[in-house]
A = this chain, B = another copy of it.
Amino acid sequence: MRIAIDAHGGDHAPDAVMEGIGLAREKWPDLKIVLIGTREIAEKFVLSDVEFHAVTEIIEPDDKPAIAVRRKKDSSMVVGCKMVRKGEADAFISGGNTGSLMAAGFFHVGRMKGVDRPALAPVFPTLTGKGILVLDVGANPEAKPGHLHQYATMGSIYAEKVLGFESPRVGLLNIGTEAGKGTDLTKEAFSMLEEDHSLRFVGNIEARDILEGPCEVLVCDGFSGNILLKNTEGVAKAIFSRFKQELTASLFTKLAAAILKPRLKKFAQELDYKEHGGAPLLGLRGPVIKAHGSSDAKAFFNAIRQARRFLEKEVISQIEEELSR
């Protein structure tokens, strides 16, 4: 098993990437890692047993994705995706710009057989601690009912094989719980999901119930999913930062804060996306995993573990098989 990793992706790269690789090498000594980065990286970091592939370009966060992945042919993202396409790597992990990684995946890895549109599928934290796989959160803003049906199939297999949910329940993000609610898209998708008995479809799910964990896989168009993802992040961040403000307002509140600190820290961690590893781009010919932009060493380690399971459980051939039925 050979996993390619982008040395340049994420706010804490390359240090967090290196440390994450170090942790993974300790845990799985048989694992082969190919680190992709510029010469400066190779000069700065020497990791024994880690193969290095030098590139001359970097895709920057504010590059236009579609243009960047066409022009910057010797960037870490494009090279990583091409390695997967050519079989030189079994999977690719990057904490870089999401739009660019999706574009690089589409152009340079390509879709798997039977998939119309790949989907970005992060795990949302839930109060149950188990999390919920949401797809798509932005790879395909304008989805068709058939795409949502494919997301349900891909998501169910991934949730079972990689996340370990037995017989995962599938929900459809909608603006009411009754059948017949929502737009033409959700109405048609509802019928398709209901008719597919290979899925454990539990119906429409409203946005207010997600954190309670009403299902293990939630399907939606990429526009709504992206709104959901960013709104959840924004609301949680705003509430926590405001709490922090209240906790440090006076000597008394600082005392209270000292008592509560370990509990609040644990809770904040539970709501943290990094704990759940990266988000796979489901529907490509090979595993491509987007690590969160703020990933630390542990998050990169988790993304590597995720890529390993993805490969061990043969998720791609399972999805292809299911979609061909």
Contacts and interface: CB of A to CB of B under 8 A. Distances in A.
A126 to B, nearest CB: 9
Interface in A237-267: 237-240, 242-243, 246-247, 249, 252-253, 255-257, 259-260, 263-264, 267
B142 A223 contact: no
A236 interface: yes
A208 B235 CA distance: 7
Interface string A213-247: 00000000011101111111111111110110011
A171 interface: no
Interface in A121-174: 127, 138, 141-142, 173
Contacts of A259: 252-253, 255-256
A24 interface: no
Copies, count: 2
A141 B209 CA distance: 19
A183 interface: yes
B231 A228 contact: yes
Contact of A223 (B224, B253, B271): B224
B234 A207 contact: yes
B236 A239 contact: yes
A142 to B, nearest CB: 5
26 contacts: A127-B238, A141-B175, A141-B182, A175-B226, A175-B230, A183-B223, A206-B234, A207-B228, A207-B231, A207-B234, A208-B234, A208-B237, A210-B231, A212-B234, A223-B224, A224-B227, A231-B232, A235-B235, A236-B239, A243-B243, A247-B260, A252-B259, A253-B260, A255-B256, A255-B259, A256-B257
